[in-house]
Structure 1
Amino acid sequence: MSIQRQATIVSSLTACILISVKFIIGILSGSVAILASAIDSLLDLSASLFNLYALTKAEKPANFEFNYGMGKIESLAAVIEGSVILVSGIFILYQSFKKLFFGGELVYLDYSLYVMLFSLILTTMLVIYLNYIAKKSNNLVIKADALHYKTDILSNGAVLIALVLVHWTHLHIIDAIFGIGIGIYVAYSAFGILKEGVLILLDKALEEQKIESIKQIIASAPQVQSYHDLKTRQSGETNFVEVHLVFDPNISLLDAHKVADSIECAIQNLEGKWEIITHLDPYDDEGAVCNIY
Structure 2
Amino acid sequence: MSPQRRATMISSCVALVLIVVKFVAGIISGSVAILASAIDSLLDLSASLFNLYAITKAEQPACVKFNYGRGKIESLAAVIEGSVIVVSGIFILYQSFKKIALGSELARLDLSVFVMIFSLIVTACLVLYLNYVAKMSNNLVIQADALHYKTDLLSNGAVLVALVLIKLTGFEIIDALFGIAIGLYVGYSAFGLLKQGVLVLLDRALDDEKLTAIKEILDSATEVKSYHDLKTRQSGDTHFVEVHLVFSPDILLKDAHAVADMLECKIQNLQEQWQGQWVVITHLDPYEPAS
Instruction: Tell me the SS of whatever aligns to 2:282.
Output: strand
Tell me the residue number matched to 2:285.
281
1:290 is aligned to: none
Report the residue type matching 2:248 in the other structure.
D
Paired residue for 1:78? 78
Can you list the C-alpha shifts for 1:34-67, whole angstroms capped at 9, x where unaligned? 0000000000000000000000000000011110
Matches of residues 87-98 of structure 1 in structure 2 within 5 Å? Answer: 87-98=87-98
Secondary structure of the 1:269 match is: helix
Q: Does 1:3 align with 2:3?
A: yes
How many residues are paired up?
A: 287
1:123-134 superposed matches below 5 A: 123-134=123-134
**Superposition map of 1:1-293 within 5 A:** 1-270=1-270, 271-272=274-275, 273-285=277-289
Deviations 1:49-100 (A, max 9, x none): 0000000000000011110000000000000000000000000000000001
Amino acid across the alignment from 1:265:
C
- Determine the C-alpha separation between the residues in 2 that align with 1:53 and 1:182: 29
1:284 CA displacement: 1.2
Measure the CA separation in 1 of the matches of 2:38 and 2:219: 55
Structure 2 distance, partners of 1:249, 1:62, is: 36
In structure 1, runs of 5+ residues without a counterpart are: 288-293
SS of equivalent to 2:228: strand
Aligned residues with identical type, % of pairs: 71
The answer for unaligned runs of 5 or more in structure 2 is none
* Contact 1:120–1:157 (8 Å) recurs in 2: yes
Q: 1:275 corresponds to which letter in structure 2?
A: V
Quote the Cα distance in structure 1 between the aligned partners of 2:258 and 2:122: 54
**Residue aligning to 1:291:** none
Give the deviation of 1:286 after TM superposition. 5.6
Q: Answer whether contact 1:228 1:286 (CA < 8 A) is retained.
A: no
**Residue type of the partner of 1:114?**
F
Secondary structure of the corresponding residue to residue 275 of structure 1: strand
User: In structure 1, how many angstroms separate the alpha carbons of the residues matched to 2:183 and 2:257?
Assistant: 57
SS in 1 for 2:283: strand
1:208 corresponds to which letter in structure 2?
A: D
Counterpart amino acid of 1:146? Answer: A
TM-score (norm 2): 0.98
Does the 8 A contact of 1:92 with 1:180 survive in 2?
A: yes
When the two chains are superposed, the root-mean-square deviation of aligned CA atoms in Å is 0.7
Q: What TM-score, normalized to structure 1?
A: 0.97
